[in-house]
Every structure is written in structure tokens, then in C-alpha cells.
Amino acid sequence: MDYRKNYQHFLEDPAIDEATRQELAALTDEKEIEDRFYKELEFGTAGLRGIMGAGLNRMNVYIVGRATQGLAGYLNALPGAAERGVVIAHDSRNQSDAFALRAACVLAANGIKTYLFKGLRAVPQLSFAIGHLGCAAGIVVTASHNPPAYNGYKVYGENGAQINPDQAAKITRCIQAVENFSDVKLIDPDQAVKQGTLVWIGEEEDAAYYAYTASTVLDQSVMTAAKDLKVVYTPLFGSGRVPVKHMLTQEAGIQQFYEVAAQCEPNGDFPGLSAPNPENPEAFDEARKVADEVGADLILATDPDADRLGVAVRDGSGFTVLTGNQIGCLMLNYRLMKLKELRRLPENGLVVKSIVSTNFADAICRKYGVRLDSVLTGFRFIGEKIDECVRFGKNTFLFGFEESYGYLSGNKVRDKDAICAALMIAETAAWYSLRGMTLLQGLHELFGEYGWFKEGVSSFTLYGVEGMAKIQAAMARVRENPPAEIAGAPVLAVRDYKRRLRTAGSEKEPLDLPASDVLYYELPEDGWLCVRPSGTEPKLKAYAGCKAADAAQAAARAAEMLDYAQNLLGME
């Protein structure tokens, strides 16, 4: 695309306000102009995500409005979709409320019934509300755990999961048909309310979601007996504060629940954090202070849209931040064990994880005789498995997780749910506390039984046109020159998900998953390495997993594999 032509066209569009024109006209850095206009912010299965600001390659009300006009065109071509409507939620990020309102006004102007949450709501609450209200689609305005400069716009289908590639492609074509921002229809929100196309929602939908999520508890007697469990929680300035507090105190009955006051109020600048990401140890710094003051052993943290849950556990005088894989396997093992104990473990039970998540889960599922399916990265693939369970009844969905701190149980939410996960990990911690153990001690007990599993991930951020080219070149180079060994271990098989082919020596077999630019190397003794571009950020990622006799050996091996991956990808 001709970025200068795009820049001029944007400036001349009559729908653009004067402040935005002045912001763009003041730009003197040619590279900055190029980055804002060399392409349109891409719409895909994860919707839109980018840095906020004026431009085609930025998140702003015009890009949101155009995307929503395209979505309206797509929905108005589906019988009954306009009457069923769309539900919209937003998190605490800067401009999230303005983007959500703009989307609502565009939909209403196009004759589509629109339900808009008053105030912050989490991703799982939005996902649940789609089914609860019988909507044709949903929108949530969030950039999840990204740094403060980012925002995003995710579209959900009628099943409550993020849209699939076919839906994304059709919506994209409708967006591309909107040539000018002045072609985007708008209505005043008060007028939309009067004519019945905009409905403000909140309390009733919250109550329904809370009642559903409360059913996640497997054994209330565990929670009751462990009432002295001390839990410190931080919403990291996001949407999780109200629902997580409600679930843990009102539904689970935890009496010693402590909030991190300094991080409770919504704030899109996320002060003190490079990013509001519960994967980062720094996210627990303020919470550790509170935990030390009250003598708590357990800290929980959720990201701004409350779809990811992080956990830290006291380890002597300090705290250990658990990985997403460790959190998932602690909950998985407890839930399968408890279901079996209660004689509620179905013979057709199904657990689902992503391909870059730990093989620890495979070992746990084998012990309990439960089927485990692996899917591509992206929680919508887990949502699709839940769909199959509901529609065909062949399997009963029990639990799903990704290494990136996303977890889910139940079938009325189709995206990762940190509110549900907070309740599940609290029950797991309560069960261990009844045995005089912390979650960390429980994890070590599992390692003693199954072996010491260790995973790691390296991310290489590459911005702009050059960065995208480097990512594509690195993947192409590795694909055409597959390694015979990785950090001294022989490669047993290569899974090329772009070609949908698994190659083991001279044997080849098709992969029964959608095409995706992912390379996965199978290694001996539960070892593996996977490389892929991020779907939501300008990053190239390498994942490694292994099993060893003890913690030190496992950590050393995982680090060695990631070092190899860095060299393999040419990211020195």
C-alpha cells in the first residue's frame, strides 16, 4: 500500500475530526507516518489489536466504527441476526468505553439490537451473555494483557467463542467495502435507547453469570472446611475486581480475602507496570507486600479483561510465581481426582489443551483414563471442542487450558475465564491446605509422581514492515531446513501445521488441525520445541518443554533448548 496516499486520504475524509487532523499534520517523522499508514490494522479471528492513535494502522474510533459497520453488513445478511442482536462489553483500558459506545451506536444505526454493559465487564461475562441473551454476536473492547499503549476489538460468534477464520474472512470483506469513514452510519445513543435499538444491561446478566460460575465448585465441603485460607487478590486495575471478589467471598465463602488497594481502581495507564500481565513476576510486587502484612500464602492476579489468571504461592520468606502450565495441571489433577472420588467422572470425559502447553497434562489424563485433545494456540479452538461436545454429545467437556494463563470449565463460556479459574484454584488450594500443604508443595508432590516437567517460552519482538519481513523469513528458512537434532537431542518427528503434515523419518501423515504457521519438533522423553509467529503481537515465539529427574535438570534442559531456538531462528 502507498502509505503517503493513505495518509492524505485519511486527512481528507470529511468524517475525521479536527483534533485528529492536527495530530496527523503535526507528524514530522517519515517512519512514524509510514508505520501508521503502510497498512490497515488487520481484522482476523482475534479481531483488531494495535497501538492507539490516529491512522489506518492504529486503534481509534474511526477504525472501530468502520470495523463495526462491516460487522453490521455481515449480520444484516444473516436471517434474524439483527433482531437477536449484539452484546458489547469493555475493560479498563484508555478509550475502551469510547470504542464500545462507538460500536454500539454504529450497530444501532444499522438497525441491529444492541446490548451494552454499563461499566467494566470481563471477557467471560461477555461470552456468557451472548448465550444468555440469545445474541447473534458479541464484541469486547480490550487488548488483554498488552502494554498501556494498546487496545483491541474482539468479535464473538453466537456460540460465545471468538469468530472462526471463515467468519473473519466474510466480515473482513464487509469492512473492506466501507471505503470511507463517512460511510459509517451513526446514531446518538439517547436516540437509540428511545427507539429500542440500544439497551443498557448489567445486574441481571451478572447474577446469571455468578450463579452459573458457582457450579464450578466440585466439593463445597472443601471450601467450607478451609475457611481460614488467606487469599490476596489484585485485578491489576482491570475488570476482575467485582466478579472475582464476589465469587470468592460470596459464593466460595472465603472469609480472609484481601485486595491490593493500590491496584483496585480502573486505570488504563496501569501505573507501576510495564504491562498488566499476570505472567510477569512484577505484576505481583504490590500484592506481595499485602500478603506479607496479612500472612497470606496465596496471591491471585487477573489481567484487565479478566481472562487470564496468575498465581503466586509462598515459598519460605518469599513467593514463587507459578507458570500457566503448573496452574493448569494443579487444577486438572485436583478436578479429575475429585470427580473420581465423588463418582462423577464420566467415561467420555474430555480435556483440551493447546499444542504449546505441557505434556504434564497428558500424563495426568492417562492416569485417570480421560481423553486429552490438543488444539492450535488460541482459545477459540478449545471453544470449538466444547461446541462439538454440546452438539454431538460424544464427549463431556471437563477442563481446558493454555500455557498462556487461560483456563475454563463448563460449557456456557467459550473463552478463557479468570473468574472461574480463581474459584477453581481457590478450591484446589483449599484441598491442599486441609492436608497441611501449599499449592507449591502440592505441585512438587505431583512432580514426584509424574516426573519434573519444565516449560519455557522466548519472545522476539520485531516492529514495523522490516520486523514482519524478518519473522516471515525466519519461519520460511526453518521450514525449508528442518533440524535433525535440537540441543543434542534427535528430532523424532516434525509437525508442520502450515502444510498440515507430520514427518517422522520417511513416514508422513496428515495433521487433523487447521493450517497455521507453526513448526513443532517432537523429541525423546516428553521433550518438544515449537516456533510460531504471535497472532496478536509483532512477535516470533519459541516454546520448549521437557521432563527430567529433578527441578535443576529440567530447568537447565529447557533453557538449553530455548537457547538453541534463538540461534535456529536467527534472533541473536
> What pLDDT digit, counting tens, does each position of 369-390 carry?
999 999 999 999 999 999 999 9
Question: Does domain 325-416 correspond to CATH entry 3.40.120.10?
Answer: yes
Helices and strands (H, E) in the chain, number of each type: 20, 24
Specify whether the CB–CB gap between 189 and 160 falls below 8 A.
Answer: no
Give strand pairing partners of 539: 461
Tell me how far apart the alpha carbons of residues 418 and 216 are, in angstroms, rounded to a whole number: 12
pLDDT at 538: 81
Model confidence, pTM: 0.94
List the one residue out of 221, 322, 243, 334 whose CA is nearest residue 279.
Answer: 322
Tell me how far apart the alpha carbons of residues 572 and 559 are, in angstroms, rounded to a whole number: 15
**pLDDT at position 1 over 70:** no
Mean residue pLDDT across the chain: 95
* Arithmetic mean of pLDDT, 406-418: 97
Residue 82, C-alpha cell as written in the block? 439483527
pLDDT at 539: 87
* Arithmetic mean of pLDDT, 332-356: 98
> What pLDDT digit, counting tens, does each position of 73-89 carry?
999 999 999 999 999 99
Q: What is the chain's length?
A: 572
Tell me how far apart the alpha carbons of residues 108 and 346 are, in angstroms, rounded to a whole number: 45
**pLDDT at position 226 over 90:** no
Q: How many CB atoms lie within 10 A of CB 127?
A: 30
Give strand pairing partners of 440: none
pLDDT at 506: 92
Catalytic residue among 144, 433, 458, 516: 144
Domain 3-204: which CATH number of 3.30.460.10, 3.90.1580.10, 3.40.120.10, 3.40.50.300? 3.40.120.10
List the one residue out of 95, 88, 89 whose CA is nearest residue 150.
Answer: 95
DSSP label of 29: -
Give the strand pairing for 349-354 and 371-375. Answer: parallel
> What pLDDT digit, counting tens, does each position of 450-502 carry?
999 999 999 998 887 788 889 999 999 999 999 999 999 999 999 999 999 99
List the one residue out of 145, 144, 47, 128 whose CA is nearest residue 87.
Answer: 128
Q: What is the DSSP string of 138-200?
A: EEEE--TTS-TTEEEEEEE-TTSSBPPHHHHHHHHHHHHT--SGGGS----HHHHHHHTSEEE
pLDDT at 45: 87
Q: Residue 433 belongs to what H/E stretch?
A: helix 418-434
Phi-psi region of 529 (alpha: psi -120 to 50; beta: other; left: phi over 0): beta
> What pLDDT digit, counting tens, does each position of 310-326 carry?
999 999 889 999 999 99
Q: Residue 380 belongs to what H/E stretch?
A: helix 379-392
**pLDDT at position 359 over 90:** yes
Give the strand pairing for 114-117 and 198-201. Answer: parallel
* Arithmetic mean of pLDDT, 100-112: 98
pLDDT at 463: 81
DSSP label of 458: E
CA gyration radius, the chain: 24
List the one residue out of 425, 217, 430, 245 whose CA is nearest residue 327.
Answer: 425
**What is the CA angle 309-313-318, rounded to 5?**
130
Q: Which fold has domain 230-321?
A: Alpha-D-Glucose-1,6-Bisphosphate; Chain A, domain 3 (3.40.120)
Tell me how far apart the alpha carbons of residues 338 and 344 are, in angstroms, rounded to a whole number: 8
DSSP label of 215: T
Question: Strands, DSSP E only, in 434-526?
Answer: 452-461, 485-486, 489-490, 493-496, 501-504, 507-510, 519-523
Q: Which fold has domain 452-569?
A: TATA-Binding Protein (3.30.310)
User: Any idea where the domains of the chain sit in the sequence?
Assistant: 3-204, 230-321, 325-416, 452-569
Which residues 6+ apart lie within 8 Å of 317 measured at CB? none
* Cell 487488548 -> residue: 143
pLDDT at 550: 95
pLDDT-derived band at 527 (thresholds 50, 70, 90) equals very high
Phi-psi region of 464 (alpha: psi -120 to 50; beta: other; left: phi over 0): left
Residue 237, C-alpha cell as written in the block? 486495575
* Arithmetic mean of pLDDT, 297-303: 97
List the one residue out of 481, 482, 474 whose CA is nearest residue 539.
Answer: 474
Q: What is the DSSP string of 524-535?
A: TTTEEEEEEE-S
User: Taking each helix axis from N to C terminus, what angle separates 551-569 and 464-480, rounded to the nearest 10 degrees?
Assistant: 110
Tell me how far apart the alpha carbons of residues 336 and 568 are, in angstroms, rounded to a whole number: 39
* Arithmetic mean of pLDDT, 49-63: 96
- CA distances 39 to 114, 247, 255, 467, Å, are 30, 43, 52, 14
Known catalytic membership, residue 221: no
Residue 530, C-alpha cell as written in the block? 515449537
Same fold for the pair 3-204 and 325-416: yes
* Burial class of residue 30, CB neighbours in 10 A (0-12, 13-18, 19+): exposed
Specify whether the CB–CB gap between 494 and 523 falls below 8 A.
Answer: no
pLDDT-derived band at 534 (thresholds 50, 70, 90) equals confident
**Ranges 24-28, 489-493, 558-562: which has the least confidence:** 24-28
